[in-house]
Chain A
Amino acid sequence: MHHAYIDKFAYQDSVVHSLDARVKFIAAVFFTAVVISLPRTSFAILFCYTVGPFAVLVLGRIPLKFVFKQILLVSPFILVFALSCPLYDKTPVKVSFGPSVFQTTVGWMRCCAICGKFVVTMLALIALVSTTRFSNLLAGLRKMGVPKLLIIQLGFLYRYIFVLIDTAQHLLRARAGRTLRNLGPKQEMKTASAMLGSLFIRSIDTAEQISIAMHGRGFNGNWRTISRLKISNNDYIFGVFFVVFIISLYFFASTVLN
């Protein structure tokens, strides 16, 4: 796996990318909270909420194909949960949408609502992380009071995930190259645990070397970064748009509901 694979779009340059990480983070959390608290059986209102993340994604020039691929990749658990709804709740309801009125069950409506909410909140999350560099997000979180230890931990983790995943893939390729037939569960388990053990020891050795190298360069436990966090005019404009969007949808939703 190449480093650039999963969050390559965070390193692009656009209006959305240049917004402050804190503003985007708070907006994403608030948006998710609003979507989650939406009624469980209304689909039309939910659909209106997609406009927000959609606009951010389009302005940030994130390909929608990538976004939906990512959503599909993480959806299995929630799909199982959603699809079990129609099995358990077969209360019939009549739903009218524009000129058409159709008969369905509460279970199906819930299933659709769960999937819909999942997609909308995922859109918001992807809109956040694919337009924000992880280091900027961490700096923003640090400013918002997340403990320093955790921030440093996250920074290290992010830096080395891709290195160690590469190492793991080397091990896997070596195993595949040496395994011509199924060896049976016992041998499989033995091989896997030896691989894990050597990976573990290798990680610890790497850590020792990195630690020595960092100390040689004067690391004393403080993470020094060139902080580029500044609330600019663009952030205020984004904030106003966000608030107007949320408030207007709230009023729209209450007219539909009552």
Chain B
Amino acid sequence: MHMANELLSLPIAGGGLVVAGGALGLICRKAKQVITSGKLALMGILGAFVFAAQMVNFRLPAMPGTSGHIVGAVLLAIILGPHAAAIVMASVVIVQCLIFQDGGLLALGCNIINMALIPTYAGYYLYRIVAAKPFSNFRTYVGVMLACLIGIEIGAVLVPVQAALSGVLVIPFSTFLITMISVHFLVGTVEGIVTVTVLVYIQQVRPDIVAGNLQGKVRLSRRTALATFAVFTIIIGAGLSLLASGMPDGLEWSYAERPDQPNFEPIISNSDSRIAAVDKLQSKYSLMPEYSVRNNDEDEKHQASAGWTSFAGVFGSITTMAVIWLTAWILRRRNSGAIVTR
């Protein structure tokens, strides 16, 4: 569920970057008090473990031809504690973006929120609630399952919410939401089962790791956990209500402007002031106005000239690229020639 840049508008992507950056800054400041230099290697290598673990795939039952792998956020949160796990997962998402080009540069903020911060904190909190002391195997396993399922599900729900707030959705919001929820229900279930089995294995081989004696574990106090959970709930609730209130069917407010009908009355103008405000903010920060393709007869001439201008633009770009390529080629030939003659 790596989001690409194209699924977000500038204000939402920027907001995501600010929120993720601020949260990471806070977490780093908090974690710095507890994480000593000995734990740095552990965190780094467990981040690399996430990459390696994603290569270990297995055939999924009931769905021939598909294979699953784990994400590992909840596993890390249980073993490392949520702060360290959040830093590890955030670094994984950043490296996925910068080295493997998975997910866009501007979408990085939203990706960190959806895939690093939410699954680790929400997952850890759920796990702590369900698997509270006294220790019982059954409760632990149920807690892990729930943590994986709900942690991933919340992150997945945020994807269509962010896309819809950006106003880029052409697909009806509800369709996108239902698709994401059902797909990630499967993903979360598989993740939960595998996380439980991996924990069972580790419990048998190295019980000290699961028992929380591993150095580097930072526990989260109940109050902080509650507070974070409350903040997440408020953010998600606000986002959902913002979307749900204005649009009775399909939430198709990206249809506010119809390029083919200049006189089209925007649906949002008479519905909700908050959505209008978001839209206004968007148009204010969008560097250029929305392109409208004119269809009227009197605009035929204008349209033709615009067509020629864009033709010139494309043609000019191709020429420029050809010139750049040729120049570089000639320069390289000359340089390599120089080496040979030397």
Contacts and interface: CB of A to CB of B under 8 A. Distances in A.
Q: Do A and B bind each other?
A: yes
A96 B48 contact: no
B332 A93 contact: no
B38 A211 contact: yes
B61 interface: yes
A201 B205 contact: yes
Contacts of A48: 313-314, 316-317
Contacts of B4: 77-78, 118, 121
Contacts of B332: 61
B11 to A, nearest CB: 10
A94 B316 CA distance: 23
B156 to A, nearest CB: 13
Counting chain B residues whose Cβ lies within 8 A of the other chain, the interface size class is: 35 or more
A30 to B, nearest CB: 10
Contacts of A107: 170
A177 interface: no
Nearest to B13: A36
Nearest to A214: B41
Contacts of B139: none
Nearest to B51: A161
A83 B288 CA distance: 25
B151 interface: no
Task: Point out which of B7, B49, B205, B288 has the most chain A C-beta atoms below 10 A from its C-beta.
Answer: B49
Interface in B41-57: 41-49, 51-53, 55-57
Given A98-B308, A153-B43, A208-B42, A121 B104 contact: yes
A50 B60 CA distance: 41
B106 interface: yes
B56 A47 contact: no
Contact of A37 (B24, B200, B205, B285): B285
Main secondary structure of the interface of A (DSSP, over half): helix
Contact of A157 (B47, B197, B201, B287): B47
A134 to B, nearest CB: 7
B48 A256 contact: no
B58 A188 contact: yes
Interface in A177-202: 182, 185, 188-201
Contacts of B88: 153, 157
B206 interface: yes
Interface stretch (B29-37, B233-241, B273-281): B29-37
Contact of A207 (B42, B55, B307, B313): B42
A109 B292 CA distance: 12
A203 B99 contact: no
Interface residues of A, number: 121
Contact of A160 (B32, B48, B94, B197): B48
B101 A74 contact: yes
B37 A77 contact: no
A219 B48 contact: no
A71 B102 CA distance: 9
Interface in B288-342: 288-291, 293, 295, 303-304, 306-311, 313-314, 316-317, 320-321, 324-325, 328, 332
B48 to A, nearest CB: 4
Interface string A135-170: 001000000000111101111111111011101110
A34 interface: yes
Q: Sorted from nearest, which 4 A-B pairs have the closest CB atoms?
A: A156-B44, A44-B310, A96-B307, A98-B311
Interface of A: 6-7, 28-29, 32-45, 47-48, 50-51, 54-55, 58-59, 61, 70-71, 73-74, 77-78, 81, 84-85, 88-89, 91-99, 101, 106-107, 109-110, 114, 117-118, 121-122, 124-126, 128-129, 134, 137, 147-150, 152-161, 163-165, 167-169, 171-172, 182, 185, 188-201, 203-204, 206-208, 210-211, 214-215, 219-221, 250, 252-257
Given A70-B101, A161-B51, 14 more contacts: A33-B10, A36-B9, A37-B9, A78-B4, A91-B259, A93-B260, A125-B101, A160-B48, A171-B56, A182-B59, A185-B62, A198-B201, A211-B40, A250-B288
